[in-house]
Each structure stands twice: as C-alpha cells, then as structure tokens.
Amino acid sequence: MSAAWILVLCLGICLMLLPEPAGSEGPVPIAITCFTRGLDIRKEKADVLCPGGCPPEEFSVFGNIVYASVSSICGAAIHRGVISISGGPVRVYSLPGRENYSSVDANGIQSQMLSRWSASFTVTKGKSGAQEATGQAVSTARPSTGKRLKKTPEKKTGNKDCKADIAFLIDGSFNIGQRRFNLQKNFVGKVALMLGIGTEGPHVGLVQASEHPKIEFYLKNFTSAKDVLFAIKEVGFRGGNSNTGKALKHTAQKFFTADNGVRKGIPKVVVVFIDGWPSDDIEEAGIVAREFGVNVFIVSVAKPIPEELGMVQDVAFVDKAVCRNNGFFSYHMPNWFGTTKYVKPLVQKLCTHEQMMCSKTCYNSVNIAFLIDGSSSVGDSNFRLMLEFVSNIAKTFEISDIGAKIAAVQFTYDQRTEFSFTDYNSKENILAVIRNIRYMSGGTATGDAISFTVRNVFGPVRDSPNKNFLVIVTDGQSYDDVRGPAAAAHDAGITIFSVGVAWAPLDDLKDMASKPKESHAFFTREFTGLEPIVSDIIRGICRDFLESQQ
C-alpha cells in the first residue's frame, strides 16, 4: 500500500473517531433507498438514513471497510456492522479510488472483489435526526420549509447524433482466456463511454459468446454510460468454444425485439469481437442477421498465424459475416494491449448512420399486394383457407408507417380493393381486415385483375422506397390473357409470385411469375396445401429483396 493511500485511510479513520460537538444533534439525515450507491451522494461527508427491510441478497457491495463508490450505502453499512437489517442513520465519507477492493463475508452480506474503481467511501454510525426512513431519496439535508424539495432530474439525453441500438457480442471462450477477456471488457467499456449513451442517443447491450450464448444485459436495462460500465465490469468469464456463429444468430433473433428495448427507425447494430477465429459457421448467422435488419461489424483481434490457418473452417469468415463486404464493417486490432487509439475510429463507424445499409430488410422495406381469386369455383370454406394463407404471410412482416405495407384485391370478372397500402399501418388492423373480407363469387379474369392492381394499388406508391411484390392466389383458368398484364407489372418493377390451386393451369402460373419461374410459381392440388407454401413465399421475398440491395 502506498504512503499516500495510508495517509488517506488514516484521515478517514480519524474522521470516524471524531466526536460530535457537545450539544449538537447533527444535521438531519437524508432518507435514501436500499440501493442508493456511494456515487449518488456527491458530498465529502453526508448523513443518510437507511430504511429497514432491505433484501440482503440483492445488495451490491464491493470491498471491506473501504467500499467502491458503486456499492450500496446501506449494504456497506450492514456489512460494516454500523446498522442492522432494520436500518438506521449512517454517516458516509467520500474517499479516493483504489486498485483493489477485497471480498469479505460479514454480518450476512457477502461483499465482492473489484480490481479498480475511481472513487470510494466508508461508513460510520450516524446521528439520529427528525427524519424517518421511508426508502425515498431526499434532495437536501436542510429543507427550508419543512417539506422535501424535489430534485430537478438531470437530462441524460446522450449523443443525439449517434442514434443506434447496439449489441456488443464479446468473446468469452477458452481461446481468449481470462486475462484477455478482461482487457476486452475494458475496451468495450471505453467504446461505450465514448458513444455518448443516453435516452435519446445510442443504447447498448451485451452478449457473451461461449459454449452457449448468454445475453448479459439488454438495450432497455441501462440508459447511462455509468451504469453500462458497471454492468460490463460485472460480467464473468464463461469459457468453452467461441461458437460465434451460434451467438450471432441468437443475438439477431432474440436480442433485437421491441420487448427488449429496440426502437423504431433506429439502426440495429451488432459489434462482434473475435479473438483468433470462430469455432463454428458464421456465414449463415450473417445471412440471418441481414434478414433481420442487423448491421454486423466484425472486430477481429490477433488474426490466425499461417501455422493456425489449417484450424480455421473458413479463412474468409469476416467477409461473409459482415453487413457488406466493403471494408466499412470490418475492423482489426493486432492485440488487446494499447487499444485506446482504436476506440475513436470504431465509435465514428458506429455513429455513421448513412452507412448502415442492412437496416432495411425484407421484413420492413417491402410493399406486398395480394390478388385473391374470389370466383365461384373456390367456395366459401376454401376462400377462408386462402385468407388464412394471406394472413400467415402478412403477419411475418414489420407493418408500420415507416415499415412494410400490405394491400389486398379480390377479383372475379370484376375487381374490389379490399384495402390499399395506405389504409392501415399496424399488423393487428391488417390481420383483422383480412379475416373480415367477404367472398364475392363470380368468374375469373386474372389478367384484368393484374392490370387493375398495378394501376390502382401500386400506382399511388410508385415513389415509395420499398420494393414491390404481388402474390396472386387462384384456383382456375383465367378467361382473359395474363401474359401482357404480367409483363407490364414486371416492367413496372413488381416481382410476382403466382400460387395455383386445383385447376389452375401451370402455363398461366409460369406466364405470370417473375424469373426464375421455378422459384416464383407454386402449385398445390388441395387448398390445405397452401400452408406449406407460406414459408416458400416469405423466403422468396427475402431472397429477391437481398439481391436487389446488392
């Protein structure tokens, strides 16, 4: 221990032993919550009042006698023996940070080790005042009116010029080891700090890749850099194979959801840290991420040396996993030492929103119109199966005012627009309207129906940035020509999927479908056979969308 630290500690202990002036009742203590931390009290010395009934197992306490400022004050006070679980007054003294905080089990509280923190505090028995412990924080120790003064909340909006929802996917495998794992966490913390995390700025979460992926915390959990840094420090090393592909796929599918804090219209980004090389296939995971609109960055550290290349499944794994193989989405650091100089360039990339080309996906950037055969040969019960087919496709997409758009036209000899692209902006409304479509019954003029849909449904959205798709479902021979209207639709940039049931001629289906015909034309003998075609149509839309973005 350094002489300077011994002096500071002695001063802290001396302060603890100083008696109160005779006749003084001391200041009125501030009522705090069970989880108020030392860093929340911005005074060199403060009297606080801990409530009773705090759950000991939920305290975060780091150190012994001297505690890291991220520790719970009440937890530290119980650990130190200053108060019991029933609460009471505590005096808090701020102290400088230190290199190591020890782990000690005392008074029913198990404190934890911490390698380093920027500030500390210690606690002694406080002086009772008139204030009762309520568990609600009070903004000042001396209210002038006898009422608690409300503290004006600080606006923690963050960097508004860097709006992004970011998942850091860190390497927690045996390949990286405990020491480099800690250096990795330190680097991620620096990146998170420089991003400018806040309510209106970037939000971040953390996933650890190991034998099995683990989401450490979500976007919604923390909206301040201080809390994120602490959460990163708490992450433990898991070990096992890296399985980066498995973790990336899990992140794309499970992490980026509205329930977990994803915001509409904000780019979704995953920054994948790979120490060496992945132990599984990462290419497929990259495809899945792109389909879900996730911009994948790969930060590679310590590339495999020539002698190790034989163990790498695919030496081009970086190029195949990133959002685009254009150099922007890949970043290399030679090792985990001296990484500070790499922080700012990476942050600049993550904040360059115009480069986030994978934010647009087949799920949120398409217009899909359904052309539904309502002719007499279909029948009411089979017509319901057709509507179910349409619903199952529609509900897969992210329908909103800034996302995917759905429209439907029913046709016989005549055509009826059931709803257009601009009528409804929510999935719930769209599905409800589809369920309530009334069966028309009549003849079959598919060619006229295609021309009607191109003109009246796609015409008003011709300037839309979304890619246009038309899904035709019919059960029989058209009484008019379908080739001319279908060709005009293709020329207008509309991709057609044709789905035939029962007596629908294969030639008509191929004439209507976009190229290649074999992947855009489908046929089933029975209406119950429509269900398996749902996934084929969805995959086809996503495939065509991705190809159009290349």
Map 183-208 to HEC letters. HHHHHHHHHHHHHCCCCCCCEEEEEE
Query: Torsion angle, CA of 22/25/30/32, rounded to 10 degrees?
Result: 90
Mean pLDDT of 130-157: 39
Mean pLDDT of 103-129: 83
pTM for this model (two decimals)? 0.54
Q: Identify which has the larger pLDDT, 146 or 321.
A: 321
Mean pLDDT of 341-350: 93
Q: Which residue has the tokens 């029975």?
A: 526
Mean pLDDT across the chain, nearest whole number? 86
Query: Smallest Cα–Cα separation from 292: which of 345, 353, 359?
Result: 359
Q: Which of 98-102, 229-233, 249-253 has the highest mean pLDDT?
A: 249-253
Assigned CATH topology for domain 165-356: Rossmann fold (3.40.50)
Q: Tell me the percentage of the chain whose pLDDT exceeds 70.
A: 87
Helix (H, G, I), strand (E, B) or coil at 287: helix
Q: pLDDT category, 16, cuts 50, 70, 90?
A: very low
The distance of Cα 454 from the centroid of its chain, to the nearest Å, equals: 37
All structural domains of the chain with their residue ranges: 30-125, 165-356, 366-548
Q: Can 30-125 and 366-548 be said to share one CATH topology?
A: no
pLDDT at position 32: 87
Strand partners, 159: none
Q: pLDDT category, 216, cuts 50, 70, 90?
A: very high
Q: Can you tell me the distance from the alpha carbon of 99 to that of 520, in angstroms, rounded to the nearest whole number?
A: 64
φ, ψ of residue 297 to 5 degrees: the values are -105, 140
Q: Which CATH architecture has domain 30-125?
A: Beta Complex (2.170)
pLDDT at position 146: 37
User: Is pLDDT above 90 for 490?
Assistant: yes
Assigned CATH topology for domain 366-548: Rossmann fold (3.40.50)
pLDDT at position 414: 97
User: Is pLDDT above 50 for 8?
Assistant: no
φ, ψ of residue 159 to 5 degrees: the values are -80, 100
Span 55-77, pLDDT tens digits: 777 688 889 999 988 889 999 99
User: Is pLDDT above 60 for 177?
Assistant: yes
Query: Smallest Cα–Cα separation from 272: which of 300, 253, 294?
Result: 300
pLDDT at position 33: 84
Span 403-458, pLDDT tens digits: 899 999 999 999 999 999 999 999 999 999 999 999 999 999 999 999 999 999 99
pLDDT at position 304: 67
pLDDT at position 311: 64
Mean pLDDT of 280-305: 88
* 251 token code pair: 């992140």
Span 450-485, pLDDT tens digits: 999 999 999 999 888 899 999 999 999 999 999 999
User: Is pLDDT above 70 for 26?
Assistant: no
User: Is pLDDT above 70 for 25?
Assistant: no
| 222: Cβ contacts below 8 Å, ≥ 6 apart | 197, 204, 228, 231
State which amino acid sits at residue 210. S
pLDDT at position 132: 38
pLDDT at position 59: 80
Contact (CB, 8 A) for 189 and 339: no
pLDDT at position 308: 58
The distance of Cα 19 from the centroid of its chain, to the nearest Å, equals: 53
pLDDT at position 119: 85
User: Is pLDDT above 50 for 363?
Assistant: yes
Contact (CB, 8 A) for 124 and 26: no
State which amino acid sits at residue 296. V
pLDDT at position 519: 96
pLDDT at position 144: 35
**Angle at alpha carbon of residue 78, lines to 235 and 24, rounded to 5°:** 130
Q: pLDDT category, 276, cuts 50, 70, 90?
A: confident
Q: Identify which has the larger pLDDT, 359 or 512.
A: 512
Helix (H, G, I), strand (E, B) or coil at 123: strand
Q: Can you tell me the distance from the alpha carbon of 362 to that of 538, in angstroms, rounded to the nearest whole number?
A: 9
Q: Identify which has the larger pLDDT, 15 or 368.
A: 368
